[in-house]
Amino acid sequence: MASATLLKSSFLPKRSEWHAAARKSSNPQPVAVSFTVRAGAYSDELVKTAKTIASPGRGILAMDESNATCGKRLASIGLENTEANRQAYRTLLVSAPGLGQYISGAILFEETLYQSTTDGKKMVDVLVEQKIAPGIKVDKGLVPLTGSNDESWCQGLDGLASRCAAYYQQGARFAKWRTVVSIPNGPSALAVKEAAWGLARYAAIAQDNGLVPIVEPEILLDGEHGIDRTFEVAQKVWAEVFFYLAENNVMFEGILLKPSMVTPGAECKEKATPEQVAEYTLKLLHRRIPPAVPGIMFLSGGQSEVEATQNLNAMNQSPNPWHVSFSYARALQNTCLKTWGGRPENVKAAQDVLLVRAKANSLAQLGKYSAKGEAAEAKEGMYVKNYSY
């Protein structure tokens, strides 16, 4: 399999060692160094899936919260964390009429991928009927990174190939792996390298099993730092990420990125306007992201619903080499969840609210959004220090 070949490639000598060996040979021969991008038998499908998700006016609904995190959301509206309650809420989301007009992909937790709606239909089938590609969270969460400055690394590579193959058979067509970088804690070179290497290995394995990998090194909002410091760290992180993606022969045309926007730390006294966020973020993308990548699907990272939409809109005021869009969780679901409140009679009202937010971000992807008429609740920040999924 390609994944085995890719694993072996990490133990190959460096180019300098190849050339040194050739010079020492009694009969020197030209040394051919070849670099092969591999995505197995799925190359064409991967490109098609990535382009479909990165289609004009559409983005991703991230609904891949773990059962524990979903329980926190349900608790906020007074509901117990049971499978029935999780099923009811997820059914509300995936069955919102016309959602596929604004949403091209939905990231699911493993339970949801195998779950049926309250009406007995497979969640995956409901999404496909809406022309929404089902995706799947494949990482196993963050754990402490030994030897670092209280930083973390993302686990889940063990058994990933077999899990991806099973998820593909169940109907998933893209995957997500989230790791994080903390500015207040450094970030250390060790943490950045570990994040980049893990993302690259995951991406290669996902592609080898038919899933478009979403590459997500989230730079946390935690901290008092200014926007220039965020920009500095983001440049280092993305340089490392793309170096290791190339080292692992990942096909750039068959990936999607889920970066943080370049903003000041959440506790910084100097706030940035949407225009400043757009300027810094686009400058970062132009310096670090190859145009072969089909889509940049930003995470909201604790911004308010309106703030996340305004920032996205500001980035789409002129043409970009990539599809610049959204992959939002709380910034799409927050008001929807509160409107539902666990009451069956509120399902339609909650779905209407979800569609309002989805349409707003669809317009932002096209650069046509206006915040006029937005409810005060949609402007409330959702930042949580050390937030975890």
Query: Do 136 and 211 form a contact (C-beta atoms < 8 A)?
Result: yes
So which residues are the catalytic ones?
216, 258
Report residue 135: phi and psi, to 5°: -120, 175
Query: Do 302 and 384 form a contact (C-beta atoms < 8 A)?
Result: yes
Q: How far apart are CA 336 and CA 241, in angstroms?
A: 34
In 17-164, DSSP assigns E strands to 59-63, 103-108, 133-137, 142-144, 152-154
Distances (CA, A) of 310 to 63, 268, 272: 21, 19, 12
Tokens of residue 107, six digits: 């990231």
Report residue 56: phi and psi, to 5°: -55, 135
Handedness of CA 106, 59, 228, 217 (dihedral sign): positive
Q: How far apart are CA 143 and CA 155, in angstroms?
A: 7
Give one DSSP letter per residue of 147-199, joined into a string.
TSSS-EEE---TTHHHHHHHHHHHT--EEEEEEEE-STT---HHHHHHHHHHH
